[in-house]
Amino acid sequence: MTTASDEPDQPAGTSPATGRRDYPPAPVSPPLPPVPTNRAELAAIIDHTILKPDATDEDVLKVCADAAKFKVAAVCVAPTHVYLAAASARREARAAGDGGPPAYAVASVVGFPHGNHLTVIKVEEARRAVEDGATEIDMVIDIANAVDENWAAIEFEIHQVRIAVPAPVVLKVILETTLLPDATIRSACRASLAGGADFVKTSTGFHPGGGASLRAVRAMHAAVGGRLGIKASGGIRTAAQALAFVQAGATRLGLSGTADVLAEMPP
């Protein structure tokens, strides 16, 4: 999402004592995204999500049917369900009779939910997901590296996954922001940008510390808004919450209760 005139933040330097990198702040305050005013506009920025470990094929197909009906941006599924979801998206497009692209994008999680997989495993998991039909990857960083502020390690891991799944695959990086203070969130976002991410994402939704927060989204927007997409995910259950996250800077929302949220929006 960068251009020749808007290059990623470059490392200010690496400490020889710690191996940690410091990233400078964004040079300007980015504009906020437009706030949806109706169901269609809100649906267009939703990743309709099913990641519960006991989800069956039938559950996934129901989510896919709802995704086509609501016209969401994507469905987000576990790696074992990518092939099924991608096939369903193609079927929905054929059923519509327009011969166009799949009815929605398919996103797969990588290194989920804890992030402490070996980098080589995340790389292979992402590659296989794309082979199975995913066009978006939501990868969890090694969260301990963010707690330790080991930005070089985070940037390297993201870069390795980026090489394995180059554009136009969309790469989202999950930071588990509930564990991080604002300054650390901002640095993690800039490391994600330098590593080649397209989005930064708040949460897995599985950490006991909680999911998305307005505090975290504001910190993310301050760091990379306008240069990376920002996905708020985890605990968004009402239209009012969804709109508040967009007003804070989110450009994509991860929801499992999509139908209930959209029902609260004007037609």
Catalytic residues: 138, 201, 231
Dihedral class, residue 111 (left if φ above 0, else alpha if ψ from -120 to 50, else beta): left
> Looking only at Cα atoms, what is the longest distance across the chain?
61
DSSP 6: B
Burial of 159 (0-12, 13-18, 19+ CB in 10 A): middle
Q: How far does CA 196 lie from the centroid of its chain? A: 13
Residue 52 CA: distances (Å) to CA of 25, 49, 55, 57, 78: 37, 9, 6, 12, 9
> Number of C-alpha atoms within 13 angstroms, CB side, residue 245?
29
Distance CA 37, CA 151 (A): 38
Instruction: Quote the CA–CA distance of 176 and 185 in Å, as a whole number.
Output: 9
State the alpha helices, DSSP H only, in 57-149: 57-70, 82-96, 119-131, 143-147
Residue type at 82 in one-letter notation: V
User: Which residue type, as a one-letter code, is found at position 42?
Assistant: L
- The first and second tokens of residue 17, run together, are 């004592």
